Structure 1
Amino acid sequence: MSFQNHQFKNSKLPPLHSFPSPSLKSACLAPFSTKSPAESHQPEVGIKMVVRGRSPLQTEWKKENMIKFLNENPEFLDSYVYSKVNIQRIEEWYQQKTKNTCHKMNRKEKMYVNRCTTWEPDSMKWKFNLYKNKDQQAQKLISELVQIRNKTDLLIELTNCLVAVNGADGANLYIPDCNNEQEVQFSSRKSLVDETLFSVMTVPICDEIGHLISIIDIYRLGENLMFEMEDKHLAYCFRIWASVLLKNIEIGTQMEHQRQLNDFILTVTRSIFSDMSMDTIIIKIMSSAKTLTNADRASLFLVDMQRKELFSRIFDAGSDPEKYMSNDIRFSINKGVAGYVASTGEILNIPDAYQDSRFNRDVDQKTGYITKTILCMPIFIRGKVIGVVQMVNKLNGVFTKDDEEAFEAFAVYCGLALHHAKIYDKIRQSEQKFKVALEVLSYHNQCTEDEYQQVKSMIDSCCLLELSDVNFNPWSIDNTEKVVYVLQMGQEIFGDYRLNMDNFTRFVLTVRKNYRNVPYHNWTHAFSVTQTMFTILKKSGHEFETKESIALFIACLCHDLDHRGKTNQFMKLSESPLAALYTTSTMEHHHFNQTVTILQNEKQNIFSNLTTEEYKEILKIMKECILATDLALFFGNRDKLRKIVDDSAFIWEDKEHRKLLRSITMTGADLCASAKPWDIQKETVKVVFEEFYAQGDEEKAHGSEPMPMMDREKRNILPETQVGFLSFICLPCYQLMSDLLPETTTMVNGVKKNLENWEILAKECKTNEETETR
């Protein structure tokens, strides 16, 4: 919209063009001057004047006489200045006069001059033109106007400045009353003065896209005081600056509103996520929704897609914001405003509920509550509607577009909170199911009272064997006797270390029960490894502390608990839950956790008499020892310890050195069958490979090609496989052990003898193959 310079001769303030007059608000500004048109006239050249008093030409030329003459004949002075003095000279007089006048004015006079402006003394600079350059004046005032943060205040100040800089006598400011975007109306014009207006300039203020923001009319009362091009240019500059400043206020207001919204959402979100209870979260969301939109009541309905229903467990009673009724209600997803929003995912802002066909009046009729306005918002998660929040009756009018946008941003966090609460509920239910399942399994995996009594009666009657021998044959005694001998070995290891024998008995029986009936990693293997560790500890003297000895002994007993007869690699490839639970040393972590589970039973806790610190320390060592039985970790441990030994740097007091030695000792005990006499070694390898072949068969059944040593069709490579195993794993392990524990040298010799036998068998197999190929 362009602005025009309307010149009116002897007219009142003209009406606005193309706009009706009703229902407008107007900010009218007082004129800067109250002079009547008669007092503000300008004399025309050539007008006949009557000279009063004595002419100075007829008397002696004196200053006093001239002043008296001019006072008596002001028309003469006006006529002379108008016709003889140029504009530049008049402006110089004006500037000097205004400077002097400004200094001499008292406070009352200044208030009179500036009665319609709050700019003091800057507005007077406009009126008295203290600056020679009006552009400089405009720049200074604009920089001050930037600080204003209210739209109406800014428009009033701009109007005052425009009046002052153009030397106008007053102005009217018109601001649209935009209650409805489709109807923009202005109030009827109303001048603050009754004098006839001789010149009016109308300046429209628009935003950046041309929408009208306000209209400023500035006027002059004096006849022939027309607005010039310079005035138009300055008004045009003001118009541009006004648009920029108003945009600045709009952006500032939006940023402040967004900041407040962000603070609100952050505070509420922190409160919501502090509690994962679904009912608590629903109450917090409803309370926050009411605060955010200034609603009287709020409801939150969750979506049950399986039953195509909306349901709610919490209902806002409205009487007390802290009290919510627990009332589980359900209704079809195709019914009511909430059902429509849940089905379509659309936002509904209903200014009059009773005029909307989707509104269900039954609730109002039952409760007596009158619903007027509704704002219904869907809550999404992963693109699906999981809930609907319905705000009812805004306390101050109707729900606005700002309410929609604010709650739409808040609804994102509501969705996350509800989603997390659902997950939390599922996890909590799963935990309860897990506890029940664990309780059932624990009951069936615990030793029975009959088993306990049987072993207890055998302890005194069972004959003592020489158990501190690495050549002991684990198949020489039955499974029950193994339990008795474990108890005997345990008593020697624990010594006076506050061992509860009843608990220890139940513990060993339960451990036995938790070994599966697989070919190799079974209770017999656990006993064999435990008996070998007992032998090492007894023959090595006091190199290991009591706590270390206890941890090593119990770790050997439990090191393969619940073994399934499969390798860690197989568990990963078959996507076993255990592999998902433990990404490294899968089965070893499971063995340790099973041990802890057994110890958690009060009747099976063999460490109940220890202090908390002692218990934690022993468990830590046990975990390190059980994990060390993973051959994938053996090579790293062996290389570190070998370097220390070769450098003659091993220190028994060094905790890291002792840890490495314990790890190597655990591996040596685990591989003890390789150091036993040939008949035991050969029988052990047979059951080991039977377990390997079972895994290979399962891999073939799933379409995978097993490793050669796990393929029963390649039995002929068994001796060659054992030669490699003993040469590169077993022999280096026992040689390293014997360097630090010389008492284990017999195990080195046993491995060498078995290696020789396997090498002979390997050569025979190779010879047979060559014969068959010929």
Structure 2
Amino acid sequence: MVVGVAQLINKNPDASTFTKEDQELCNRYLPFCGIAITNAQLFELSQKEFQRNKFLIEMIHDIFEEQTSIGKVVNRIMKRSLKLMKCEHCSVLLLNEPLLDSGDDQLIDRNCENLKFSNSYHLKMASTGRHSVIASEINGELFKALTVLSERVVANPKTLCISDINEDADLKILAGRSCDEIKSILSMPIRNSKSEILGVASLMNKVNNCPFDENDMSFFEAIVLFCGLGINNTMLYDQMAKAKAKQQVALEVLSYHVKCPQVEVERLKLSAIPSVASIDLGSLQFDDFSLDPDQMLTASVRMFLDCGLIEDFNIDYQTLCLWLTTTRKNYRNVIYHNWRHAFNVAQSMFAILTTGNMMQHLSKLECFALLAGCLCHDVDHRGTNNAFQEKTASPLATLYGTSVMEHHHFNHTIMILNTEGHNIFQNLSPSSYRKVISLLRHSILSTDLAINMKYRGTFFPLVENGELDLEDDNHRSMLRAMLMTTCDLCGITKPWKIQREVVNLVASEFIQQGDIEREKFHENNIPAMMDRQKKNELPRMQVQFFDNVGIPLFRICEKVNPLLKPLLDGAIANRNQWEQLQSSSLSAET
């Protein structure tokens, strides 16, 4: 077997021609050269195979050592890949859900709804003097190029190896200037055990400026295979953890809650329903403490009647009474986030829809979802906030991750609706039913103040610039979200005596949580609003809350609808009262 070619050029010192003796000498010498070269090649190959096996064993160890986070698994694999393959960039883009590859060599539709990347990971090898470091930075242009490349691999799920990116005209056009940082690339689809595509892994720019060869492709194929295994195992672990958390939550709920006794349902059915005027139900300055728990039930029925929901959506009266009493039953006896708070939020929504005439801007189905969402928005609240759930690694935090309590309130609401005889939406058409459940979910999740703060940057300028278009679904969605938070905070707009009592209840619940954190975690650095030792700072904290959260929201509501100005006026008046208390407190200290 020929392993190479030897050439002797220009015989020295006399520049004479090569002789037969020279040729014979070469013929004797070259077989030994061939043996040496072959041995060297075999040794190099064995070394590469050894390094490859060592790498794969270490990678298997990484995969099975860390199965709690996809990000950690992927980053460990990428770090090893960068060092061993000696590349400048390594990236992994994961699809939002596994994509089935038919395996019949047909291209997957590029417009497929599933062709969306939900997570991306990127590492870059950077040189600093004689050392190399790995960083995770990625600029927007490079990310665009990686997305285009990954979409191509998913659409045609085979290995993509490009020696010179500039020679691929189509890709250059698609990615534009973002390709400038990429010279060569090796990309492969990541699959799970069912051959479903999970995402795309890519290597870019070998540090020696050489193109990727068959050995690189073979090695990277093994890496991607194990990457798919690690991701799949982590996803299974996550599913098991969530299933366990869901079971714990369900057992906890079942141990605490029971279906409302029929006698309470019958009592509500037989109760006289008060008029709106008799209990001042339509007032934006409604007294939050004027009704007892049973009166709040009959007032809730009145809200559904006066909004025309019972007639328009053919709500069975028995079902409505059962749903209301069971919903009340499923509120825990906590200091503030209890049934009274839920009713007060619903009353605020009712007043905004009727007295504030916001019903003219919303559909009846939206009003139905908003009113029901208010009554359910804090169901099964535990008297602690989202940060507490995350800090204690509660089953709820494991189950939901973000907007923990809001997701739980919605899922608990669905559990009540799915209980026999409780579904107030049961007579809606299939399309209207799907719509109202979506609206209900949006309404409840919108009470997470963190979500509301994100919306403000978009919604406030729309209103201030006169660009709010209620024919636009996104604008309507943000408006409904703002109304939910407005109603959730309406307690700070009420007459001073009522408002101060609301604040005292909220503060007491927060301080109770702070006490638990101090006792359970031995923490001293507790947020001021939850620190019993800083109760005297309540006026200052209230002024900040009014200035940063409450008043800007009520001001924008007044711009949307001038009939909501009483909310802004009430908030400003209460803010000034807290400021006076703050000044008095400071004067007393000096």
- TM bracket, shorter-chain basis: 0.5 to 0.7
**Letter of the aligned partner of 2:533 in structure 1?**
E
- Distance verdict in 2 for CA 1:470–1:440, change over 3 Å: closer
- Distance verdict in 2 for CA 1:710–1:444, change over 3 Å: closer
Q: Counterparts of 1:281-430 in structure 2 under 5 Å?
A: none
Q: Counterparts of 1:91-102 in structure 2 under 5 Å?
A: none
Structure 1 residue 727: Cα displacement? 2.1
1: CA distance, partners of 2:498 / 2:404 = 29
Structure 1 residue 430: Cα displacement? 6.5
Structure 1 match to 2:48: none
Structure 2 match to 1:710: 530
**Letter of the aligned partner of 1:483 in structure 2?**
L
Unaligned runs of at least 5 residues, structure 2:
3-20, 43-221
Structure 2 match to 1:687: 505
Structure 1 residue 508: Cα displacement? 1.4
Structure 1 residue 632: Cα displacement? 1.7
Structure 1 residue 670: Cα displacement? 0.4
Question: Bigger shift: 549-558 or 501-510?
Answer: 501-510
- Distance verdict in 2 for CA 1:432–1:535, change over 3 Å: closer
Structure 2 match to 1:636: 454
Structure 2 match to 1:110: none
Name the SS of the counterpart of 1:472 in structure 2: coil
Structure 2 match to 1:496: 312
1: CA distance, partners of 2:567 / 2:435 = 30
- Distance verdict in 2 for CA 1:563–1:444, change over 3 Å: closer
Structure 1 residue 523: Cα displacement? 0.5
1: CA distance, partners of 2:362 / 2:246 = 43
Q: Counterparts of 1:456-535 in structure 2 under 5 Å?
A: 456-459=269-272, 465-493=279-307, 494=309, 495-535=311-351
2: CA distance, partners of 1:715 / 1:576 = 28
1:626-680 deviation per Cα after TM superposition (whole angstroms, max 9, x unaligned): 2221222222322322211222111121111111111111111001111111111
1:537 to 333, 353, 357: 353
1:491-517 deviation per Cα after TM superposition (whole angstroms, max 9, x unaligned): 333141222222222111111111111
Structure 2 match to 1:654: 472
Structure 1 match to 2:421: 603
1: CA distance, partners of 2:280 / 2:241 = 52
Name the SS of the counterpart of 1:445 in structure 2: coil
Structure 1 match to 2:545: 725
1: CA distance, partners of 2:427 / 2:410 = 21
**Letter of the aligned partner of 2:560 in structure 1?**
L
Q: Does 1:441 align with 2:254?
A: yes
2:556 to 729, 732, 736: 736
**Letter of the aligned partner of 1:606 in structure 2?**
I
Name the SS of the counterpart of 2:312 in structure 1: coil
- Distance verdict in 2 for CA 1:665–1:233, change over 3 Å: same
Structure 1 match to 2:266: 453
Structure 1 residue 593: Cα displacement? 1.4
Structure 1 residue 241: Cα displacement? 13
1:151-186 deviation per Cα after TM superposition (whole angstroms, max 9, x unaligned): xxxxxxxxxxxxxxxxxxxxxxxxxxxxxxxxxxxx
1:219-274 deviation per Cα after TM superposition (whole angstroms, max 9, x unaligned): xxxxxxxxxx9xx9999999999999x99xx9xxxxxxxxxxxxxxxxxxxxxxxx
1:98-149 deviation per Cα after TM superposition (whole angstroms, max 9, x unaligned): xxxxxxxxxxxxxxxxxxxxxxxxxxxxxxxxxxxxxxxxxxxx78xxxxxx
- Distance verdict in 2 for CA 1:695–1:235, change over 3 Å: same
**Letter of the aligned partner of 2:264 in structure 1?**
E
2:386 to 568, 572, 578: 568
Higher RCO, 1 or 2 (CA under 8 Å, sep at least 6)? 2
1:669 to 476, 481, 487: 487
TM-score, with length taken from structure 1:
0.44
1: CA distance, partners of 2:518 / 2:249 = 37
- Distance verdict in 2 for CA 1:500–1:544, change over 3 Å: same
What is the RMSD of the two structures over their aligned residues, measured on CA atoms?
A: 4.1
- Distance verdict in 2 for CA 1:724–1:234, change over 3 Å: closer
- Distance verdict in 2 for CA 1:684–1:439, change over 3 Å: closer
- Distance verdict in 2 for CA 1:492–1:769, change over 3 Å: same
**Letter of the aligned partner of 1:717 in structure 2?**
E
- Distance verdict in 2 for CA 1:756–1:598, change over 3 Å: same
2: CA distance, partners of 1:699 / 1:432 = 22
Structure 1 residue 427: Cα displacement? 5.0
- Distance verdict in 2 for CA 1:600–1:631, change over 3 Å: same
Structure 2 match to 1:749: 569
Q: Does 1:762 align with 2:578?
A: no
Give the share of equivalent positions with the same residue, in percent: 36
2: CA distance, partners of 1:677 / 1:524 = 17
2: CA distance, partners of 1:432 / 1:573 = 16
Name the SS of the counterpart of 2:382 in structure 1: coil
Name the SS of the counterpart of 1:715 in structure 2: helix
Name the SS of the counterpart of 1:566 in structure 2: coil
1: CA distance, partners of 2:526 / 2:298 = 40
Structure 1 residue 433: Cα displacement? 9.8
- Distance verdict in 2 for CA 1:743–1:523, change over 3 Å: same
Is the 2:245–2:399 Cα contact (8 Å) retained in structure 1? no
Q: Counterparts of 1:21-60 in structure 2 under 5 Å?
A: none
Structure having the higher Rg: 1
2: CA distance, partners of 1:667 / 1:587 = 15
- Distance verdict in 2 for CA 1:580–1:766, change over 3 Å: same
2: CA distance, partners of 1:716 / 1:433 = 40
- Distance verdict in 2 for CA 1:601–1:582, change over 3 Å: same
Structure 1 residue 698: Cα displacement? 1.3
1:443-496 deviation per Cα after TM superposition (whole angstroms, max 9, x unaligned): 943212122112112145899533111222232111122112112212333141
TM-score, with length taken from structure 2:
0.58
Structure 1 match to 2:158: none
Structure 2 match to 1:553: 371
- Distance verdict in 2 for CA 1:430–1:525, change over 3 Å: closer
1:558-600 deviation per Cα after TM superposition (whole angstroms, max 9, x unaligned): 1111111112222222222222222222211111111112112
Structure 2 match to 1:625: 443
- Distance verdict in 2 for CA 1:516–1:443, change over 3 Å: closer
Is the 2:403–2:448 Cα contact (8 Å) retained in structure 1? yes
Name the SS of the counterpart of 1:602 in structure 2: coil
**Letter of the aligned partner of 1:757 in structure 2?**
Q
1: CA distance, partners of 2:430 / 2:401 = 29
Unaligned runs of at least 5 residues, structure 1:
1-141, 144-228, 251-408
- Distance verdict in 2 for CA 1:549–1:462, change over 3 Å: closer
2: CA distance, partners of 1:678 / 1:612 = 46
Is the 2:246–2:395 Cα contact (8 Å) retained in structure 1? no
Name the SS of the counterpart of 1:509 in structure 2: helix
- Count the aligned residue pairs: 388
Q: Counterparts of 1:188-267 in structure 2 under 5 Å?
A: none
- Distance verdict in 2 for CA 1:525–1:467, change over 3 Å: same
Name the SS of the counterpart of 2:554 in structure 1: helix
Is the 2:274–2:299 Cα contact (8 Å) retained in structure 1? no
